[in-house]
Amino acid sequence: MSTFTLGIEEEFQIIDPVTRQLKSHMSQLVDEGKVILQERIKQEMHQAVVETGTGICRNIHEAQEEVHFLRNKLIGLAAEKGLAVAAAGTHPFSDWVDQLITPHEHYDNLINEMRDVARGNLIFGLHVHVGINDRKDAMKIMNEVRYFLPHIHALSTNSPFWCGRNTGFKSYRSKVFDKFPRTGIPDRFSSIEEYDEYVAILMKTNCIDNPKKIWWDVRVHPHYPTIEYRICDIPMRAEETLCIAAICQALTAKLYKLRNEKPQYSSYRRLLVAENKWRAARDGTQARLIDFINETEKPYEKLVTELLDFIEDVVDELDCRKEVNYIHCILKNGTGADRQLRVFEEKNDLNTVVDYMIEETKFGL
List, for residues 39-95, the tens digit of each pLDDT value.
Answer: 678 777 778 999 999 999 999 999 999 999 999 999 999 999 899 999 999 999 999
The lowest-confidence range among 13-22, 42-51, 189-198 is 42-51
> What's the whole-number mean pLDDT along residues 353-365?
97
**pLDDT above 90 (res 30):** no
pLDDT tens per residue across span 199-221 = 999 999 999 999 999 999 999 99
Residue 31: is it exposed, middle or buried by C-beta count within 10 angstroms (0-12/13-18/19+)? exposed
**pLDDT above 60 (res 33):** no
Query: Which residues, in sequence order, are CB contacts of 30 under 8 Å at separation 6+?
Result: 41, 42, 43, 50
Q: For residues 329 and 326, what is the distance between their CA atoms, to the nearest angstrom?
A: 5
Q: For residues 280 and 300, what is the distance between their CA atoms, to the nearest angstrom?
A: 9
The residue among 266 and 156 whose pLDDT is bigger is 156
pLDDT for 79 equals 93
pLDDT for 101 equals 82
- pLDDT band at 1; cut points 50, 70, 90: low
DSSP state letters, 286-350:
G-EEEETTTTEEEEHHHHHHHHHHHHHHHHTTTT-HHHHHTHHHHHHH--HHHHHHHHHHHH--H
- pLDDT band at 231; cut points 50, 70, 90: very high
Residue 32: is it exposed, middle or buried by C-beta count within 10 angstroms (0-12/13-18/19+)? middle
The lowest-confidence range among 26-30, 263-267, 296-300, 342-346 is 26-30
- pLDDT band at 32; cut points 50, 70, 90: low
Phi, psi for residue 242 in degrees, rounded to 5: -70, -35
Give the global pTM: 0.95
pLDDT for 109 equals 87
Q: For residues 123 and 311, what is the distance between their CA atoms, to the nearest angstrom?
A: 31
User: Treating both helix axes as pointing N-terminal to C-terminal, what angle do 149-156 and 238-257 enclose, rounded to 10 degrees?
Assistant: 170
pLDDT for 29 equals 65
What's 6-354's CATH class? Answer: alpha beta
Residue ranges covered by each domain of the chain: 6-354
pLDDT tens per residue across span 172-185 = 999 999 999 999 99
